Amino acid sequence: MFLLKSVFHSALSLAVAYAASLNQVTNFGDNPGSTNMYIYVPDSLPTNPAVIVALHPCGGSGPEYFSLYDYHTPADQHGYILIYPSATRDSNCFDAYTAASLTHNGGSDSLSIVNMVKYAISTYGADASKIYVTGSSSGAIMTNVLVGAYPDIFAAGSAFSGMPYACLFGAGGASPGNTNQSCAQGQIKKSGAQWASFVHNGYPGYTGLYPRLQVWHGTADTLIVYALLGQEINEWTAVMGLSFTTNETNTPLPNYTKMIYGNGNQFQAFSAQGVGHFVPTDVDTVLDWFGITGTLPTSSTSISKTTSRTQLPTTSTTAISGCVVAEYGQCGGIGYAGCSTCAPSYTCEQLNDYYFQCL
Ligand SMILES: *[C@@H]1O[C@H](CO)[C@@H](O)[C@H](O)[C@H]1NC(C)=O
Ligand SMILES: *[C@@H]1O[C@H](CO)[C@@H](O)[C@H](O)[C@H]1NC(C)=O
Ligand SMILES: *[C@@H]1O[C@H](CO)[C@@H](O)[C@H](O)[C@H]1NC(C)=O
């Protein structure tokens, strides 16, 4: 009996010792935004796990946002890494207003966050083509910033109650306490072409695809007014060259309308009737959008856009994973645990769920 009990106790302490938790990382690299990094790494990971960056609202923190929405139980199940940055300046709002943060490799919070992603790639062998970003309020504004300034890093985004990339440029601050609330109050209205030129100036010379993006907004929002949803739509449909296709009402929840642009695989917007600031995260829909659960749309050209986004500079991608797949080689698929980096000028295309090939 005594023996049995002590065996039971050691098994229990083993289980406790191995339970994953949110941990701070202090040495993730260059940190121009003085942004803190927290990471959740499930005990069991596939060879090249996906990464989700989750961004808190103003006044919040990474650990607080970690507790707000449960992305970690599905992380244990599906094997992806979570990064929770904490903004430390401007009332803990992410910097979405300086030229540095809005510019590719310009500095500030956006570069700090990208360096956290690179840390996860080099430390855990994370898949550079499966980096996702989501956030609420300030975190949603920052999602727009990251998608605009670092389209080569992120494969998809989901922004809850944010603003277009560059809407705060020149506002002098990003917090609700800042005196200049022109953007938040809907006084900044630009055409798609005008917004798109801001985005293109954030990363001049970039010719690749922009991340797949979904944006959410409540019609009763008074802090970042509902009109900002329309401005986000103007911006990203112009950048991606998409036009309105159709509405799906009561999707994914009653009183929500899903607005589909193009074939719906690249950009979608959700209008939440009667919801204020901010729209609660629908984790299931976000994980579907990132392709972590559910199925990505099949047999469309967009699927290869999603699966082929290995767009970090070839040298660093090669160095990170230490492997390269030649033309026609397998680079992914269910049950495949090998290298997923295609040789320069080839992209990893999904032929079916079980076979991805460098083409
Ligand atoms: C207020 O902020 C906007 C950006 O959100 C900027 O374009 C505008 O110039 C600012 N107004 C003043 C008076 O600084
Ligand atoms: C689609 O839904 C949005 C949000 O409810 C609405 O503003 C828009 O008018 C709808 N468009 C059509 C064509 O029904
Ligand atoms: C949907 O909106 C209607 C009208 O505003 C409201 O009466 C109803 O309670 C809402 N339903 C849900 C599930 O929120």
Residue ranges per structural domain of the chain = 15-310, 312-359
pLDDT at residue 323, as a whole number = 64
pLDDT at residue 299, as a whole number = 32
Report whether 276 contacts 321 (CB < 8 A). Answer: no
User: Ligand 2 centroid vs 244 CA: distance in angstroms?
Assistant: 10
Q: Is 204 in the pocket of ligand 3 (CB under 6 A)?
A: no
Q: Is 188 in the pocket of ligand 1 (CB under 6 A)?
A: yes
| Residue closest to 50 by CA, chosen among 346, 352, 332, 298 | 332
User: Ligand 3 centroid vs 147 CA: distance in angstroms?
Assistant: 33
User: Ligand 3 centroid vs 216 CA: distance in angstroms?
Assistant: 18
**Ligand whose nearest atom lies closest to the CA of 255:** 3
The residue type of 109 is D
**Coil, strand or helix: which one is 131?**
strand
Q: Is 136 in the pocket of ligand 2 (CB under 6 A)?
A: no
Question: Which residue lies with its CA nearest to atom 1 of ligand 1?
Answer: 171
Atom of ligand 1 lying closest to residue 188 CA:
5
pLDDT at residue 294, as a whole number = 74
Q: How far is CA 331 from CA 183, 306, 325, in A?
A: 43, 14, 7
DSSP 8-state secondary structure symbol assigned to residue 91: G
Angle at 111 between CA 320 and CA 55, to 5 degrees: 100
pLDDT at residue 296, as a whole number = 63
Question: Which residue lies with its CA nearest to atom 10 of ligand 3?
Answer: 255
Q: Strands 348-352 and 355-358: what pairing?
A: antiparallel
User: Ligand 2 centroid vs 180 CA: distance in angstroms?
Assistant: 30
Q: In what order do the strands lie in the sheet with 355-358?
A: 330-332, 355-358, 348-352
Question: Which residue lies with its CA nearest to atom 2 of ligand 1?
Answer: 171
- CA gap 137, 140 in Å, rounded: 5
Per-residue pLDDT of the chain (359 residues; tens, 9 = 90+): 344 444 444 444 444 445 689 999 999 999 999 999 999 999 999 999 999 999 999 999 999 999 999 999 999 999 999 999 999 999 999 999 999 999 999 999 999 999 999 999 999 999 999 999 999 999 999 999 999 999 999 999 999 999 999 999 999 999 999 999 999 999 999 999 999 999 999 999 999 999 999 999 999 999 999 999 999 999 999 999 999 999 999 999 999 999 999 999 999 999 999 999 999 999 999 999 999 997 665 433 333 333 333 222 222 222 223 567 777 777 787 766 777 877 777 788 877 777 778 78
Any idea which residue has 């942004």 for tokens? Answer: 35
Q: Is 255 in the pocket of ligand 3 (CB under 6 A)?
A: yes
Atom of ligand 3 lying closest to residue 253 CA:
13
Q: Is 86 in the pocket of ligand 2 (CB under 6 A)?
A: no
Dihedral in degrees, nearest 10, Cα atoms 276, 250, 242, 234: -20
Structurally, at CATH architecture level, domain 15-310 sits in 3-Layer(aba) Sandwich (3.40)
Residues marked active site are found at 137
User: Ligand 1 centroid vs 101 CA: distance in angstroms?
Assistant: 17
**Ligand whose nearest atom lies closest to the CA of 183:** 1
| Residue closest to 215 by CA, chosen among 259, 274, 185 | 259
Residue 343: both structure tokens together: 């040789």
User: Ligand 3 centroid vs 271 CA: distance in angstroms?
Assistant: 13
pLDDT at residue 200, as a whole number = 96
Report whether 51 contacts 130 (CB < 8 A). Answer: yes
Full-model pTM: 0.81
Q: Is 254 in the pocket of ligand 3 (CB under 6 A)?
A: yes
